A and B are shown apart, each in its own frame.
Chain A
């Protein structure tokens, strides 16, 4: 099946096996390996990407379901050489150790921050409950998201001024 979609701002046109999962499309066909597979059943969140701005588990989306959509993966967070505030936050606050859950975790954070610019700790815990981390115990991830939220609020204030 022919599908076209926009991946990290670039239009793509591919002929795919109809059953291919979005995560495998991203990893194998588009060659972006930042999105990870941690389970095969929707439960770990390592494969989280944004589809038209909303977090989805790409292991539970068929590539063909993404037809015509905008897909953003971890590779699309940074703008040229400038890290996204979420990436900065994870770096500043030691929000990662082995890094395997991190891309999906950051995309889930991106979804949250697009809806809630000043989330509380319980709100962040709830928003990332679909993303498992085995290394960090989550506390520094929460601080990372709070850092990013603050930075993004600050940037918004500046541009509004």
Chain B
């Protein structure tokens, strides 16, 4: 019999792909149900306005209209959308505007019709008497006493103020040779998954069962939220995440349209579908980042960082979505980066503005921190006249210091920052790159070399460290069917991350079977035990560990059964090539099928053991995992146009042990693309009156293939001690390293002109202006 190969660590084609490349997968807009109605939302054109009246009578009378709802209709029927984060001021979050609108795009009226076109036509007949109010979009202005109040009941626009002092921070500044002060902006971004949001809901009145298909990252959490909002038992609500076309954090949430669609399906007793248009997606799907940070960095002349004090102003938007005020906390906590900074203190003011809510977006608070630490390192290097590589070396947490507790109280599981860093410098040939840069500069070229050494917090996460209502554990069921095929039910909800493949690899190797013998199911709350979902780079670290736990239970049971059949102790048995064999003599083996049949047929009862082969596990992690790495970029800036060209891009990432190398590459590539997007291209812009200026892909520059470099990837492997596989997670890491790497590269190119800093995105006109101003200042 041919030997089954090992799958873990090998380049394996994805099991997800056949349905995706043939166009036969089902995304939410592909769900078609008999009698299905279409819902369309009418949204606020004002950033801040009183609603004096809404007249929907003409709309209701249109042919084909099943319902037209306003905030008045839903007021006492549907509760507030949930926000699980802790904050002083959590406003009621209505599914349809009540009394006031607070951001452009806020849902005001919902029409349901036999087709979307009729619904749109009906909404044209809705008359709303708005009384525009002064609004505020600048979070720093929103903190002023004279700023218009977005939620009057709070008396100010503060969501919460958090202070995390450090006893040694003031001393650090006092004993510094220099204190460097600057302001950094992590601009507002749109996650921009290629598939916008969408929901289909179906109610079966006789059985009192609700089924909801939603393009979501968190089917079980969403089920809990919908059941709560509609006052149904959770055992009567089924949520299905069909194929999901990207999430990146914006689908890690509970949205008004999800609750409304479900509510309508129940009240109308007809299936209802709502599909988001791209404009709506830009206006009313959560945005990412949007933090201003004032930094005081205390340094010695040799570049050692003694301490950092930071003041964050974080733009929450007008309402709080599921995690909105919880995101900035990660930014403060991660400010140590890869460095042994002894004192870090920070304050964070989270502020209401007349904009869409911010929430998790790839990295969720950690990219902001990495940008802060890595920009800091480079700016300090320039100020002190040191090589940016050398300043990092002097401050790195050494490899023997792990587990390392940072000045902010985080415990880094394992790391070897210097090693990954030197590897990246090696690959790019740093010495030669600097020499080439010197020569190029003499010829007037603006060449820049950018470094970023990052560490990031993921594997979300210990339940005690996540907000109430959001557990951090993950679940897995592994079932061996009577015919020896395997079914895995995982509580994570992958949407491109590939666990149907990685989990099959792991099961195949553990049980000595073929990867094609394993099927992985996810995303259906009627099939899969309660799980938490896919976000925060937790799929493999947490979902995979729960999987290993269930596999372990099955292995133990199978070995016990085999042991009675083979008269050998269980601890001398191994799984090999569809058999259970003696570890020391693989020829003495029985077919796995025989053991499985014994467990099901149960002709010989096995003392102390139940029939069947079905094991469930729940893994609670003891800490966050901390992937890390070093990115280096070489760029050239065209002084006449401000355009940045990539000459090289090198990324060395360490996600612990690698199960699926091809998939790790894919995650890093995609992450880098989004990080470069933040550095150079993307920005959600509201004008002063709160109008969204970036509501189409003409205005919001998601990077295209010709806007990105070729990536040269490498890995180091520093296993995590926190799970048996030693994996750390890699879904967000690329995004975290790339943004500061690219900004540092561009700023390094401009350093000879005396340009200290430019805020992201480093668009051509900004760069061009800075160069022009610098040259004018120098009398050029």
Q: Bound pair: A and B?
A: yes
Interface residues of A in 58-103 (CB under 8 A from B): 73-75, 77-78, 83, 87, 90-92, 94, 96-103
Evaluate contact between A34 and B22: CB separation under 8 angstroms.
yes
Evaluate contact between B706 and A129: CB separation under 8 angstroms.
yes
The segment from B420-428, B493-501, B721-729 found at the interface with A is B493-501
Interface residues of B in 186-213 (CB under 8 A from A): 192-196
The interface size of chain B toward A, counting residues with CB under 8 Å, comes to: 55
Q: Which of B19, B23, B669 is the one whose CB lies under 8 Å from A137?
A: B669
Q: How far is the CB of A31 from chain B (nearest CB, A)?
A: 8
Interface residues of B in 631-673 (CB under 8 A from A): 662-663, 665-666, 668-673
Q: How far is the CB of A105 from chain B (nearest CB, A)?
A: 10
The answer to whether B262 has its CB under 8 Å from any CB of chain A is: no
B residues in contact with A83, CB < 8 Å: 21-22
The answer to whether B13 has its CB under 8 Å from any CB of chain A is: yes
Q: Is the interface of A mostly helix, strand, loop or mixed?
A: loop
In the complex where A41-B696, A99-B245, A100-B195 touch, is A90 in contact with B278 (Cβ < 8 A)? no
A61 to B246, CA, bound (A): 26
Q: How far is the CB of A28 from chain B (nearest CB, A)?
A: 9
B residues in contact with A91, CB < 8 Å: 13-14, 17-18, 21
A residues in contact with B734, CB < 8 Å: 137
The answer to whether B168 has its CB under 8 Å from any CB of chain A is: no
The answer to whether A134 has its CB under 8 Å from any CB of chain B is: yes
A41 to B282, CA, bound (A): 13
Evaluate contact between A92 and B24: CB separation under 8 angstroms.
no
Q: Across the A-B interface, how many residue pairs have beta carbons closer than 8 Å?
A: 167
The answer to whether A150 has its CB under 8 Å from any CB of chain B is: no
Q: Which of B21, B244, B674, B706 is the one whose CB lies under 8 Å from A102?
A: B21
Evaluate contact between B496 and A39: CB separation under 8 angstroms.
no
Evaluate contact between B194 and A100: CB separation under 8 angstroms.
yes
B residues in contact with A75, CB < 8 Å: 22-24
Q: How far is the CB of A107 from chain B (nearest CB, A)?
A: 10
The answer to whether A141 has its CB under 8 Å from any CB of chain B is: yes
Q: How far is the CB of A8 from chain B (nearest CB, A)?
A: 10
The answer to whether B368 has its CB under 8 Å from any CB of chain A is: no
The answer to whether A156 has its CB under 8 Å from any CB of chain B is: no
In the complex where A83-B21, A99-B20 touch, is A135 in contact with B246 (Cβ < 8 A)? yes
The interface size of chain A toward B, counting residues with CB under 8 Å, comes to: 54
Evaluate contact between B279 and A40: CB separation under 8 angstroms.
yes
The answer to whether B698 has its CB under 8 Å from any CB of chain A is: yes
Q: Which of A40, A99, A134, A139 is the one whose CB lies under 8 Å from B16?
A: A99
Q: Which of B17, B19, B702 is the one whose CB lies under 8 Å from A90?
A: B17
The segment from B25-33, B158-166, B329-337, B377-385 found at the interface with A is B25-33
The answer to whether A106 has its CB under 8 Å from any CB of chain B is: yes
The answer to whether B243 has its CB under 8 Å from any CB of chain A is: yes
Evaluate contact between A94 and B665: CB separation under 8 angstroms.
yes
A residues in contact with B17, CB < 8 Å: 90-91, 96, 99
Evaluate contact between B194 and A98: CB separation under 8 angstroms.
yes
A121 to B708, CA, bound (A): 12
A102 to B245, CA, bound (A): 10
In the complex where A100-B194, A101-B194 touch, is A135 in contact with B670 (Cβ < 8 A)? yes
B residues in contact with A135, CB < 8 Å: 194, 246, 496, 666, 670
A residues in contact with B27, CB < 8 Å: 33, 36, 100
The answer to whether A3 has its CB under 8 Å from any CB of chain B is: no
Q: What are 8 sample pairs from A and B whose C-beta atoms fall under 8 A apart?
A: A38-B196, A74-B21, A91-B21, A94-B14, A100-B243, A124-B705, A134-B248, A140-B669
Interface set of B (CB-CB < 8 Å, partner A): 13-14, 16-27, 29-30, 192-196, 243-246, 248, 277-279, 495-498, 662-663, 665-666, 668-674, 696-698, 702, 704-706, 708, 710-711, 734
